[in-house]
A and B are shown apart, each in its own frame.
Chain A
Amino acid sequence: MSYREKVAWLSLLAMVVAFGPYFAIVATAPPDDAMPNLRQLWLFAVAVAVQVAILLAGHAVFRLRTPEDAREPADERDLAIERRSVSIAYGTLIAGVIMVAIIMPFYAGGWAIVNGAIFAIVLAELVSHGVAVVAYRRQS
């Protein structure tokens, strides 16, 4: 498995582990719209901290195990996979922004919109890393 495929898997894992529980909690116990909602801010901060910790630890392990691979720049196939994954994720993000900024204000407000925006970003990131992982697995 190439270094960049490992990074794609790591990024996907970090996103799922950090934001899976976040959205599970938000869905089961929706936050009230009081601003600032410290419980909600704290929950978001924990999710981001978990994601950063997983990414830092994963990158450190990869760099220690295969330092030569980590130093190698992305080759043309890596860049082609990145272009494809970012392009598809961009479409996902745009759809999410339309939903959050244009449609949601008609029936929701406060934290529902904030979490909708976070969900759109997380979903776009999941799509980006997911497409990269599939492309690397298929060798394309």
Chain B
Amino acid sequence: MRAGTISNRVRLLRFQHGEMTQAELGKRIGVTRQTVAAIEAGKYSPSLEAAFRIAAVFHVPLDEVFQWQAEPGD
């Protein structure tokens, strides 16, 4: 299995969408504010469905929200 990390731009996208709160984003994708905070901090990787919902809220493709960074050498 390839090693790597998932980064995201959720915080930036919230800022660009009128400083949308974590609670509001969570409500729109069906998770708690704490889960949005965990996603932003890179501590929790959301399900594919939740990831698509986040992208849909911000009207951007999925890869503008989440990026996969493979570790060097992999």
Tell me the A residues contacting B by CB distance below 8 Å. Answer: 1-2, 5, 69, 72, 75-78, 80, 136, 138-140
Residue contact A140 to B50, C-beta cutoff 8 Å: no
Do the beta carbons of B44 and A139 come within 8 Å of each other?
Answer: yes
B34 touches A2 (CB 8 A): yes
Residue in A69, A72, A76, A139 whose beta carbon sits within 8 Å of that of B47 in the complex: A76
Q: Which residue of A1, A2, A72, A140 is within 8 Å of B44 (Cβ)?
A: A140
Nearest to B43 among chain A residues (CB) is A139
**Whole-angstrom CA separation of A126 from B34 in the bound complex:** 23
A77–B50 CA distance with the chains assembled, in angstroms: 11
Task: Give how many B residues have a beta carbon under 8 Å from the other chain's beta carbons.
Answer: 15
Chain A contacts for B38, CB-based, 8 A = 77, 139-140
Which residue among A72, A76, A140 has the maximum number of chain B CB atoms within 10 Å of its CB?
A76
**Highest count of chain A CB atoms <10 Å: which of B32, B47, B50:** B32
Bound Cα distance from A2 to B38, whole angstroms: 12
What would be 15 A-B contacts, judged by CB atoms less than 8 Å apart? A5-B34, A72-B32, A75-B26, A75-B31, A76-B31, A76-B35, A76-B46, A77-B31, A77-B44, A77-B46, A78-B35, A139-B34, A139-B38, A139-B43, A140-B44
In the complex, what residues of A have CB within 8 A of residue B46's CB?
Answer: 76-77
Residues of chain B within 8 A of A1, CB atoms compared = 34
B30 within 8 A of A: yes
| A140 adjacent to B32 (CB under 8 Å) | no
Complex CA–CA separation, A72 to B30 (angstroms): 10
Residues of A within 8 A of B43 (CB): 138-140
